[in-house]
Amino acid sequence: MHMLTGMQRCVWAILLLPYLLTLSIPLDCREEQGSLSRCPSISQEKLLDRVIQHAELIYRVSEESCSLFEEMFIPFPLQLQRNQASYACITKALPIPSSKGEIQQISNKWLLHSVLMLVQSWIEPLVYLQTSLDHNDAAPEMLLNKTKWVSEKLISLEQGVVVLIKKMLDEGMLTATRSEQGLFQYDVQPEMLESMMRDYTLLSCFKKDAHKMETFLKLLKCRQTDLYNCA
């Protein structure tokens, strides 16, 4: 059953890949005077929709990758430890709301910034994950492709969120802050088992955070369209 659904999702993601790739128009349009604007202007609603689509797909693919990894490399008893390992998620220190009540109380600005923080904090760890999996000879091609795709989409998601912040909150252009680099430290000489577990931890943590991003953005959209029902 798990395998079936995993396969289903793999197919889903692969089918949606071209669609997503077409969506990846650079969103960081700089307003340069007199230059050919290659970035088409996009409405706020459309931009938000696109960002949400990105987040949904990123979550779906990350979930598939995590399941795949789990089935292949993690023995069953250790699968339970992911819950414990989530304790060691890199983003645990981020001041991000974690309950619906909290989310409903915070403002749009805070939501968007939370999303941005999450996205930015995961860009580098995903790169590390990619290299780690490349070193792992037993990792299947599909898994590598998925993780690569996810890290690419994450970057474009970051761009989208930046533009969205600029549009919605009328803030200035935010440069990608890389202060979260310090959060992530990895061993230089990982042992095989530990590297496996670490990758697994990374994947499950990322999956969780992707779900978080997706939920935040959807709540934000609900607020944009119908403020009263999305209390």
Partner 1 sequence: MKTAFFGRLVPAGLRCPSSEMICAVFCVFHSNFENIMAVLSSSSNLLLLLLISFLDWLSTPGSAFVTGRDHVTSSAPVEPHITECTSRNQETFRCWWSPGNFHNLSSPGTLRLFYLKKVMPTSEWKECPEYIYSNRECFFDMNHTSIWIPYCLQLRSQNLTYFNEDDCFTVENIVHPDPPVSLNWTLLEISPSGLSYDVMVNWEPPPSADVETGWMRIEYEIQYRERNSTNWEALEIQPQTQQTIYGLHIGEEYEVHIRCRMQAFTKFGEFSDSIFIQVTEIASKESTFPLTLVVLFGIVGILILIMLIVVSQQHRLMLILLPPVPAPKIKGIDPELLKKGKLDELNFILSGGGMGGLPTYAQDFYQAEPWVEFIEVEAEDADTGEKKDNQGTDTQRLLSQRISRHINIGFPDDDSGRSSCYNPDLPDQDTLMLMATLLPGQPEDREASFNAVERAPTPERGERPLVQTQTEGPQTWVNTDFYAQVSNVMPSGGVVLSPGQQLRIQESTLATEEKTQKREIKHKWSEDIEDNNQKELQFQLLVVDPEGSGYTTESIARQINTRPSSPVPGEGYQTIHPQPVETKPGATAEDNQSPYILPDSPQPQFFAPVADYTVVQEVDSQHSLLLNPPPRQSPPPCPPQHQLKAIPAMPVGYITPDLLGNLSP
228 binds partner 1 (CB under 8 A): no
Binding pattern for the stretch 128-157 against partner 1, x by CB under 8 A and - elsewhere: ------------------------------
Is there binding between residue 122 and partner 1 (CB under 8 A)?
Answer: no
Burial of 41 (0-12, 13-18, 19+ CB in 10 A): exposed
Phi, then psi, of 50 in degrees rounded to 5: -65, -40
**Cβ within 8 Å of residue 153, ≥6 positions away:** 20, 24, 54, 57, 58, 61
CB 125 within 8 A of CB 202: yes
- ∠ CA 18-19-20, nearest 5°, is 90
Specify the residue, 35 or 83, whose C-beta has the smaller distance to partner 1. 83
86 binds partner 1 (CB under 8 A): yes
Which residue from 148, 166, 167, 218 is in contact with partner 1, where contact means CB under 8 A?
218
Q: Which of residues 15-54 bind partner 1 (CB under 8 A)?
A: none
**Candidate list 22, 98, 175, 189; residue touching partner 1; CB under 8 A:** 98
3-class state of residue 63 by DSSP: helix
Which segment (25-33, 55-63, 121-129, 130-138) binds partner 1 by CB under 8 A?
Answer: 55-63
| Token pair of 202 as six digits | 């990374």
For 156, the token pair is 């474009």
Q: Which residues bind to partner 1, rule: CB under 8 A?
A: 2, 5, 8-9, 56, 59-60, 63, 75, 77-80, 83-84, 86-87, 92, 98-101, 193, 208-209, 211-212, 214-215, 218-219, 221-222, 229-230
